[in-house]
């Protein structure tokens, strides 16, 4: 795949960081011009890079084979979890190769139902996607948010569920927001920003979110402003309405950190909010209420999480479910009690308790795997969910909390025999002795002779756990003789807040050390060897890949980074990048600069031979702006001394990943696996 790299102009631009401090340094930024996504020069760069990528990947015979096989594998019916509102049931479904999932409404959980909303009809190319759904309490209206071309920007619309017709409502300029209905279904709360200036829709920083109440039948300019804090431009606001319709609960967030504020007031009043959580010291998640007694899942004085009850009138608190051995990930309030979803070594467990947190009963799950999309109501005994694992496609299920019985409502038919594969969980030892969980998926008869192409995937950030899940594309990798490994790194959410904090700020190097330990583990155990090992990650996981590439190129044979955060000195200047300071710190402080400078992938490339590298991004990514990948690709191509390829794949009309049409996902997966199989042969 070796090809000459496209020429890219190197400017003499530099930035002086903290010149009056010991940490100060002048940093060259020769590709600063690539931050202007709209310039002719940047567009020419993208065109040349895509041409190089296509010339390298299209001739590979395995790519066409993979494209055909992935299309076959993908062409099976899939369904998400059922949820209920107002006596009606709802479910997202895909018949196989539809670009976007279609929303159905049913009279009971197992009914065939009818199409309520087909996002595939919203655009000609399948790039219009659903960014949020909320059904009114009486199930007469659906608020739904539309995202175009992969952007995080949302436009809220309203559909009449009975007729299937849209109301005239159009509410643009929303971002990072859900919709919370009034109890009489007459309107809903949502959050939005000021309309972005021309040319800044995909790059301008997002500050000063406001919470609004929209009433059906009115124009957006008539919306009622509920909360704004111009003195705190980084604060954002999410609204919930208690199930009994008595209270408005406002979640105040700042950045991507889970620590938040909780403000509560009677829904019918317009008085002052009561502060349940008055500072950013812990995370609080509203679970439900019994009159003025409000229940919260919190990590306050409990890094693994606990359930508390807060009396809104007296301010008194009591513990309902204490911190346990596993991370308490979520709590669903049901008739007579709660469903507790915990993680133990990154796998789901479900437990039923009463309203006092006693009489615990364990729900029998199909095996090692993940519970997702848990939903129910405080006055009902039925909970809906999906269950999945690496070799178990997501099945929709229904839990009877009175009997503890889990009933599968629907499971997909892949037409593929998976009995020849198995999942193992092993533990690598990181540099400081920390045990790092590692899921390994491969053939049961796998010979541990170090010969297998192996793909190591990781994330390690923002308190997000990587739990066992089924991805149909990975079957093509397994069928080609590959091994899949998924690492649970510090910085993630597998073991609670202490595990998360161990991979943040000046401790971020722990994440890269954990990943390197997993790479060594796979080689030492004979699954693979460095020349046969590929690494992959996206977003924060793209940073992980970039850092591993620069720190430990000797451990790997190929790297794939999706929408990666590669310029750690400037990430905070674009769109929502400032919000990541909660995990990363910032180059705006001398201490933060020193930490970030030490591992920033863009700033740690040197003249040497690097492994084969494929970088992917979307030209509409307004979360991790594509300049991260553009600049890193240009610099890596500039310093590359060996013959291994460095490819940049830029998808048009695509963003950070959410809502990407099926056809584009299949094409991208074919490119990735063809690249890896070629590089790791």
**Residue 469 designated active-site:** no
Task: Please say whether the beta carbons of 181 and 133 come within 8 A.
Answer: no
What string of H, E and C letters represents the secondary structure of 610-647?
A: CCEEEEEEECCCCCCCCHHHHHHHHHHHHHECCCCCEE
Task: Please say whether the beta carbons of 583 and 574 come within 8 A.
Answer: no
Task: Using only the alpha carbons of the chain, give its radius of gyration.
Answer: 25
The helix/strand/coil state of 34 is helix
359: region left, alpha or beta (phi > 0 left; psi from -120 to 50 alpha): left
Q: What is the DSSP letter of 166?
A: B
Beta bridge partners of residue 563, listed in sequence order: none
Beta bridge partners of residue 455, listed in sequence order: 484, 534
Q: DSSP letter string over 87-141?
A: TEEEEEEE-SS-SS-EEEEESSTT---EEEE-GGGS-SSS-EEEEEEEE-TTSSE
Q: What is the DSSP letter of 165?
A: P
- β-pairing verdict for 646-651 and 612-618: parallel
Task: Please say whether the beta carbons of 651 and 645 come within 8 A.
Answer: no
In Å, how far are 58, 412, 441, 479, 672 from 73, measured between CA atoms?
21, 12, 18, 11, 16
**Residue 656 designated active-site:** yes
Distance (Å, whole) CA 210 – CA 28: 38
Catalytic residue among 452, 628, 656, 678, which?
656
Task: Please say whether the beta carbons of 620 and 626 come within 8 A.
Answer: no
Distance (Å, whole) CA 61 – CA 540: 32
Q: Residue 296: phi, psi to the nearest 5?
A: -135, 140
Distance (Å, whole) CA 625 – CA 580: 13
The helix/strand/coil state of 518 is helix
What string of H, E and C letters represents the secondary structure of 344-371?
A: ECCEEEEEEEECCCCCCEEECCCCCCEE
Distance (Å, whole) CA 46 – CA 648: 8
Catalytic residue among 430, 539, 629, 678, which?
539
By annotation, the residues acting in catalysis are 539, 656
């Amino acid at each position: 795949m070796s090809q000459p790299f496209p020429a890219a102009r190197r400017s003499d631009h530099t930035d002086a960081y903290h010149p009056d401090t010991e940490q100060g340094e002048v940093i060259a930024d020769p590709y600063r011009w690539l931050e202007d996504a709209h310039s002719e020069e940047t567009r020419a760069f993208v065109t040349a890079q895509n041409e190089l990528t296509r010339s390298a990947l299209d001739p590979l015979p395995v790519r066409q084979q993979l494209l055909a096989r992935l299309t076959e594998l993908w062409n099976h019916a899939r369904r998400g979890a059922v949820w209920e509102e107002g006596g009606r049931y709802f479910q997202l479904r895909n018949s196989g190769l539809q670009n976007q999932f279609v929303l159905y409404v049913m009279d009971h959980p197992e009914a065939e139902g009818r199409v309520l909303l087909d996002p595939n009809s919203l655009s000609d190319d399948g790039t219009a996607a659903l960014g949020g759904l909320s059904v009114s309490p009486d199930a007469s209206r659906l608020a739904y948010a539309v995202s175009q071309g992969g952007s995080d920007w949302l436009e809220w619309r309203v559909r009449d569920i009975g007729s299937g017709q849209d109301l005239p409502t159009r509410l643009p300029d929303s971002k990072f927001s859900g919709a919370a209905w009034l109890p009489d279904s007459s309107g809903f709360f949502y959050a939005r920003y000021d309309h972005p200036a021309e040319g800044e829709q995909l790059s301008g920083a997002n500050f000063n979110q406001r919470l609004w109440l929209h009433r059906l039948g009115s124009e957006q300019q008539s919306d009622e402003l509920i909360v704004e804090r111009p003195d705190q431009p980084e604060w954002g606001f999410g609204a919930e309405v208690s199930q009994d319709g008595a209270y408005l609960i406002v979640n105040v967030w700042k950045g991507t950190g889970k620590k938040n504020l909780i403000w509560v007031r009677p829904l019918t009043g317009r008085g002052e909010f009561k502060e349940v959580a008055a500072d950013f010291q812990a995370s609080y998640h509203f679970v439900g209420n019994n009159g003025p007694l409000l229940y919260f899942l919190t990590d306050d004085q409990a890094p693994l999480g606990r359930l508390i009850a807060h009396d809104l009138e007296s301010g008194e608190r009591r513990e309902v479910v204490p911190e346990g051995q596993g991370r308490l990930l979520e709590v669903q309030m049901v008739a007579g009690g709660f469903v507790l979803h915990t993680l133990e070594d990154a796998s789901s467990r479900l437990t039923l308790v009463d309203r006092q947190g006693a009489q615990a009963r364990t729900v029998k799950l199909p095996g090692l795997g993940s519970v997702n999309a848990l939903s129910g109501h405080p006055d009902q005994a039925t909970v809906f969910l999906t269950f999945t694992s690496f070799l178990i496609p997501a099945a929709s299920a229904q839990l009877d909390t009175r009997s503890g019985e889990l009933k599968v409502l629907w499971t997909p038919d892949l037409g593929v025999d998976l009995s020849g594969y198995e999942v193992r969980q092993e533990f690598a030892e990181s540099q400081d002795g920390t045990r790092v969980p590692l899921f390994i998926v491969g053939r049961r008869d796998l010979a541990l002779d170090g010969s297998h192409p192996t793909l190591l995937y990781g994330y390690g950030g923002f308190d997000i756990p990587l739990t066992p899940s089924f991805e149909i594309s990975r079957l093509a990798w397994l069928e080609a003789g590959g091994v899949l490994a998924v690492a649970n790194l510090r910085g993630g959410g597998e073991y609670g807040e202490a595990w998360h904090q161990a991979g943040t700020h000046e401790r971020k190097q722990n994440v890269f050390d954990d990943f390197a330990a997993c790479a060594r583990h796979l080689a030492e155990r004979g699954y693979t060897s460095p020349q046969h090992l590929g690494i992959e990650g996206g977003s924060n996981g793209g940073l992980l890949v970039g850092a591993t590439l620069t720190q430990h190129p000797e451990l790997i044979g190929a790297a794939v980074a999706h929408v990666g955060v590669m310029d750690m000195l400037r990430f905070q200047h674009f769109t929502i990048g400032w919000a990541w300071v909660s995990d990363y710190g910032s180059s705006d402080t001398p201490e933060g600069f020193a930490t970030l400078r030490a591992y920033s992938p863009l700033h740690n490339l040197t003249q040497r031979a690097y492994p084969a590298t494929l970088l992917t991004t979307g030209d509409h990514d307004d979360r991790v702006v594509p300049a991260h990948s553009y600049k890193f690709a240009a610099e890596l191509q500039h310093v590359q001394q060996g013959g291994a390829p460095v490819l940049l794949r830029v998808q048009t009309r695509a963003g950070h990943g959410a809502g990407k049409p099926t056809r584009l996902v299949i094409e991208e997966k074919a490119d990735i696996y063809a690249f890896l199989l070629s590089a790791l042969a």
